[in-house]
Amino acid sequence: MKSLFAPNAQPARLVFTTMVIGQAALLLLLWLFYPMQLFPSLGEVVRALGDLITTQGLIQELWASMSTALQALAVATVLALLISYLTALPFFRPIAYAASKMRYLTLTGLTFFMALMVSSGHQVKLSVLIFGATVYLVTGMTSVILTTTQEEMDHARTLGMGEWRSFYEVVVLGKLDEMLEVVRQNFAIIWTMITLVETLYQSEGGIGLLLYKQNRYLHLDGVLAIQLVILATGAAQDYVFVLLRKVFFPYSSLGTSA
């Protein structure tokens, strides 16, 4: 018990799990018995959730949004990795710099611009997401690359590896696990963007549009239900990424305090 309040303590797994379950239960109980004005009660949210699933096709819409998100993430990851790795060559450094600054472009303007360039609604949605995710990923990935030290590069060189081989060994292979972490952290941004893009470009449906409608008709319980679904999806995704990291990069968390 005491370990729960000691700094940097490592409580036993069982103690910690019990504590988390307790905290969650307390939150639910508070919600159940002290309904706030405006804020929908737990019962209402659960009812809205059931309704959304049966009549509005929440699951299908979620799946549609998620597969688009994954598709965009895959393409953006490949693009961002390429752009970041190319920073090894001075010629390409301005591109990475410019790409990372494009985080400041607003989505609304971008969507309009993309709509002029590509024809189908799906394409617009996808290209906006890819663009948005790429610029965030490039920012994270280039900063990972910048953590490469002189010592690490010299180490590869002393083994007789040429510049490209050293780069491949130290930066590409050596930091793949950190790149996966960057992707994990930025996946959340895709979810923020996808809900926005879907409201801007409504022909494609998706969970964003569903959320937008609930908002417009002031169905607060529905809004909350959808938000919770997105939250749960996000948490599950995070977990999958952690698993991937454990499987593919077993060395990754060695030597850290956790």
Q: Which residues bind other proteins (CB under 8 A)?
A: 151-152, 154-155, 157-161, 169-170, 173-174, 176-177, 249-251, 254-255
- Phi and psi torsions of 12, nearest 5°: -60, 150
Gap between the Cα atoms of 36 and 29, Å rounded: 13
Q: What is the smallest separation between the CB atom of 158 and other proteins, expressed in angstroms?
A: 4
Please name the residue ranges forming H helices in 88-175. Answer: 93-101, 107-117, 121-145, 150-158, 163-167
Q: What is the smallest separation between the CB atom of 243 and other proteins, expressed in angstroms?
A: 18
In the complex with other proteins, the residue whose CB is nearer, 44 or 169, is 169
Q: What is the smallest separation between the CB atom of 175 and other proteins, expressed in angstroms?
A: 8
Q: What is the smallest separation between the CB atom of 179 and other proteins, expressed in angstroms?
A: 12
- End-to-end Cα, the chain, rounded Å: 20
| CA nearest neighbour of 207 among 193, 189, 219 | 193
In the complex with other proteins, the residue whose CB is nearer, 38 or 254, is 254
In the complex with other proteins, the residue whose CB is nearer, 169 or 238, is 169
In the complex with other proteins, the residue whose CB is nearer, 101 or 165, is 165
Q: What is the smallest separation between the CB atom of 168 and other proteins, expressed in angstroms?
A: 11
- CB 231 within 8 Å of CB 62: no
In the complex with other proteins, the residue whose CB is nearer, 49 or 156, is 156
| CA nearest neighbour of 198 among 188, 185, 217, 213 | 213
Q: What is the smallest separation between the CB atom of 30 and other proteins, expressed in angstroms?
A: 43
Tokens 């036993």 locate to 12
Tokens 């698993």 locate to 243
- CB 41 within 8 Å of CB 32: yes
Gap between the Cα atoms of 173 and 175, Å rounded: 6
In the complex with other proteins, the residue whose CB is nearer, 37 or 158, is 158
Gap between the Cα atoms of 62 and 227, Å rounded: 11
